[in-house]
Structure 1
Amino acid sequence: MTAETPPPGELELVAVRDLPAAPAEAWRSWTDPELLHRWWGPTGFTCPTARMDVRVGGTSVVSMAAPELGFPEMFSAWTYTLIVEPRRLEFEFRFSDAEGLPLDPQAAGAPPGVPAVVHHAISFDELGDGRTRMTVRESGYTTPEPIELSRQGLEQSLDKLVPLFGEDPR
């Protein structure tokens, strides 16, 4: 078993995007709060909070909200387990309160079947010509239903991310 393969009995979600940016620029989309504010969350959601502590053992607190759709601000804590800048970023995702303290996923509004911890591994592979293939892997799921919900949210979030590389990031 490697970081690329989930443990037996766990299901995995994989999303891939080719970005018109070098790996270091793509990396910043996950580590720079100003950039994260601009894309995190599915269509119709904003990212009001992005307090980043990107270091092994550090925890970032990130939120998404869509009050007009009936979704108040929901928080998550990302505790980093591996950082190989600008090639790989791994963290444990947990639903949390505004301070980053863990919450039971269902108490936080997640649907049944969402595990307490979802491992995330993001790789940034250089394609040449200033392009990067970004692969996002989520693991820890044991049933397919929450994977499909997460896939929808992740795909919509990444669809919001890609156009940022055609803009001036500052």
Structure 2
Amino acid sequence: MTDLEVQRAFDAPAAALWAAWTESDAVRAWWGPQGFTCPVARMDVRVGGVSLVAMRTPDGVDLWNTWTYTRIDPGERLEFRFGFSDADGRSVDPQDAGFPPGIPREVPHVVTVRDGLMTVIERGYADDETAQLSRTGLESSLDKLAAALTS
């Protein structure tokens, strides 16, 4: 199994970085790689809570996922299981949603924030190639977050 870690500096306080992962409007402003939009972010940020988030591809296909929270240290740390789902939040196999083999049905995430710095860890990819694919998407999404924080 392969994990990935991305650390990014932002010109933003911890509160804004926290909101980017926990508040609907903030998530919708940046979630998904360049060219994608986020039409839905129904956030239920509490241990045991499940957020439902969609990213829309440039050709209009909605890719749904759930974030099931396992640990929350308010303003500092989120741990959740990212799962692929349908629009009703029912689990789906990522390959059925068009993703390549090697992406697990659930990807544990750890997000930490402090003033000016965010770290995202994703765990459990089948191989380095699959982890690199996810890293590329995450880094593109974080580029959008940086732009959203300055607008």
TM-score bracket relative to the smaller structure: over 0.9
- Aligned position for 2:54: 63
Instruction: List gaps (5 residues or longer) in structure 1.
Output: 1-9, 126-130
Deviations 1:97-145 (A, max 9, x none): 01111101111111111111101100013xxxxx321000000112112
- Aligned position for 1:84: 73
- Aligned position for 2:104: 115
Deviations 1:33-76 (A, max 9, x none): 101111000011000110110000000010111243xx510100
Q: What TM-score comes out, normalization by structure 1 length? A: 0.85
> How many pairs does the alignment contain?
151
TM superposition outliers: structure 1 runs of 4+ over 4 Å: none
CA contact 2:57–2:63 (8 Å) conserved in 1: no
Instruction: Give the distance between the partners of 2:8 and 2:129, measured in 1 at CA.
Output: 23
- Aligned position for 2:13: 22
- Aligned position for 2:146: 162
Instruction: Give the distance between the partners of 1:48 and 1:78, measured in 2 at CA.
Output: 16
Q: What TM-score comes out, normalization by structure 2 length? A: 0.95
Task: Describe how 1:24-39 pairs up with structure 2 within 5 A.
Answer: 24-39=15-30
Q: 1:136 aligns with which of 120, 125, 129?
A: 120
CA separation of 1:44/1:82 partners in 2, compared to 1, >3 Å: closer, same or farther?
same
Instruction: List gaps (5 residues or longer) in structure 2.
Output: none
Q: 1:53 aligns with which of 40, 44, 49?
A: 44
**Offset, 1:164:** 2.1
Give percent identity, aligned residues only. Answer: 48
